[in-house]
Amino acid sequence: MNCEKMKLLALLPYLAPLASAAVISNANQPITYDGYKVFRVLTHGQGEEIERQLQSLKAVQYNLNTQTNIEIAVAPEDLKKFEQMELDFQLLDEDLGVSIRAEGGFYPGGEMRIASTPNWRRPGALPDKNWFQSYHSFDDHLKWLDDVQAAFSSNSELINVGKSSEGRPLKGIHLWGQGGKGSKPAVLWHGTVHAREWISTMTVEYLTWNLVNGHLNKDKTITDIIDKNDFYIIPVVNPDGFVYTQTTNRLWRKNRLKHPSSSCVGTDMNRNWPYQWNVTGGSSTSPCDETFRGLEPGNTVEIQALVAHSRELVAGKGIKKYIDWHSFSQLILLPYGYDCKKRVENYERQIALAQGTAKAIKATARGLGSTFTPGETCPDLYKAVGGSTDYMQDMSKAEISWCIELHPSGGGASGFVLPPSKIMSSVTEIWNGMMWLLPNMNK
Ligand code: 0X9
Ligand code: ZN
């Protein structure tokens, strides 16, 4: 096993999808998570057995791979029962409800109590950079896109690729350079596929902001990047799930599609892409699970819209660079998720580019940037079927097709719930990574 791989495997236990949150989350009653404590239970090779034991608790399990540990948020009424299990554990978060409030983006009951930065709008100009000092409501994300587009009107347009099942727009922005609209191969970025992965929204927007700002300031490198690519950027591809994480359940992952045959809500959009969807393992057929694949390949309206959009791009100048932005674990994941033995045809090129990107991220602040580990979805992470990157690789013939798992590296208090004070450092190093990747791919 090479060193990179060992590092990647060491990170495995932290990765996200949870099994039992759905049980808690179907009610429309907001969940504050007050009094929930987050633990890391060391499994000592007995992951399956311990997982079964923990399933008797009212709790939210953070990770799928239980090889070395299980991270779990336990409800106050079951803390005693948890203690009585006499497991080997560490306390990661004293009170998850306090961490969620400190994050400032949860406003139960629809009241707009989000602690969003004021005065970020600057009519006629690019939004203020203080936008990246807090999280924001979905409506503000839509306004933010309007403002960015208005500030760059000669080289951009708003795109609306479709609607969510609850009728919200899948809205984004298209940027182009001197060759004119649609004249170059596409860079396609999707953010917030998984509702709770809020840092992905902010990252995609920061990259957009910096590209536009650089072009407006006549930065040569950035102008050259925009001249050579058409950017199609959709910061929130799962708006219903995103709104639900702000109003009802901060740890919601799926979309909000209802099922005729079950009271459980939501499909995992990253298991619903219509490519190799039927492969067993790596997705769930149960609507109550966090990795529910949907009733048919691509049956969710959000995935239908994203598929139609990608087809349009393929019929144009093609999709060259696809990145699906997720959190957390700090990984750069190549396909394939559906087949653990299959490698992408241009593996050597993709892995070299991923390594270069990781190196550029690390180089931030004189080498103090975060460590991102490149690898393949399977076997390095886990089997994941019906994912976007397998689709973009084989159906859209993208040159790179990556899922980037953002900050932080491990779970605990700041897994999906990343304090706003960490947004800027997190997005800045990713910008550095992209500023290495994009020019290098254009050579
Ligand atoms: O399981 C997932 O969908 C992704 N991890 S997450 O913790 N953000 O949920 C990994 C997906 C790997 N890539 C694809 N199969 N597209
Ligand atoms: Zn995700």
pLDDT at 399: 98
**For residue 291, how far is its CA from the centre of ligand 1 (angstroms)?**
10
**Residue that is last in its domain, among 103, 118, 138:** 103
Sheet containing 373-376: order of strands: 156-163, 169-175, 230-234, 186-190, 319-327, 400-406, 331-334, 373-376
The residue-averaged pLDDT of 256-268 equals 96
Same-domain check for residues 65 and 188: no
Domain endpoint, select from 87, 103, 119:
103
**Span 93-100, average pLDDT:** 93
111 C-alpha vs ligand 1 centroid, how far in Å?
A: 32
Statement: residue 355 has pLDDT above 90: yes
- Mark whether 264 and 361 lie in a shared domain: yes
Locate the ligand 1 atom nearest the alpha carbon of residue 329 and give its number. 7
Counting ligands in written order, the one closest to the CA of 389 is 1
Domain match, 303 and 396 both: yes
Residue 200 Cβ < 6 Å to ligand 1: no
Phi-psi region of 383 (alpha: psi -120 to 50; beta: other; left: phi over 0): beta
Residue 116 located in a structural domain? no
Please indicate, yes or no, if residue 117 is contained in any of the structural domains: no
CATH of the domain at 26: 3.30.70.340
Residue identified by tokens 């490149």 is 374
Same domain? 137 vs 228: yes
- For residue 391, the ligand 1 atom closest to its alpha carbon is 16
**Which residue, by CA, sits nearest to atom 14 of ligand 1?**
387
Mean pLDDT of 397-417: 87
Mean pLDDT throughout 219-223?
A: 98
389 CB under 6 A from ligand 1? yes
**With 60 as the cut, is the pLDDT of residue 419 above it?**
yes
77: containing domain: 8-103
Whole-number percent of the chain with pLDDT over 90? 81
73-87: b (≥16 Cβ within 10 Å) or e = bbbeebbeebeeeeb
Q: Is the predicted pLDDT of residue 18 greater than 60, yes or no? A: no
Q: Are residues 307 and 376 in the same domain?
A: yes
Looking at the structure, do residues 187 and 240 belong to the same domain, yes or no?
Answer: yes
Token pair for residue 256?
């909000």
CATH for 349: 3.40.630.10
152 with 201, same domain: the answer is yes
Ligand 1 atom at shortest distance from the alpha carbon of 16:
7
* Residue 269 within a domain: yes
Least confident among 17-21, 156-160, 269-273, 359-363: 17-21
197 alpha-carbon distance from chain centroid: 5
Ligand 1 atom closest to Cα of residue 253: 9
In a domain, 95, yes or no: yes
Q: Which ligand number lies closest to the CA of residue 18?
A: 1
Q: 114-128, 228-242, 302-316: lowest mean pLDDT where?
A: 114-128
Number of structural domains found in the chain: 2
In short, whether 403's Cβ falls inside 6 Å of ligand 1 is yes
In this structure, the answer to whether residues 222 and 362 fall within a common structural domain is yes
**End residue of a domain, out of 36, 69, 103:** 103
pLDDT of residue 23: 44
Based on the fold, state whether residues 297 and 417 are members of the same structural domain. Answer: yes
Q: What pLDDT does residue 71 have?
A: 86
Catalytically active residues are 405
| 78 and 172 share one domain | no
For residue 233, give the amino acid letter: I
* Token pair listed for 369: 């940037």
Q: Is residue 111 part of a domain?
A: no
pLDDT tens digits, residue range 99-118? Answer: 999 999 998 865 556 778 88
Q: Is residue 341 predicted with pLDDT exceeding 60?
A: yes
Q: Is 112 a domain residue? A: no
Quick check: is 156 in a domain? yes
287 and 179, same domain (yes or no): yes
Q: Is 243 in the pocket of ligand 1 (CB under 6 A)?
A: no
Question: Do residue 48 and residue 183 come from a single domain?
Answer: no
Per-residue pLDDT reduced to its tens digit, 58-78: 998 887 778 788 889 999 999
Nearest ligand to the CA of 387 is: 1
Residue 403 Cα to ligand 1 midpoint, Å, equals 7
- Is residue 410 included in any domain, yes or no? yes
Phi, psi of 314 (to 5 degrees): -65, -40
> How confident is the model over 167-189, as a mean pLDDT?
98
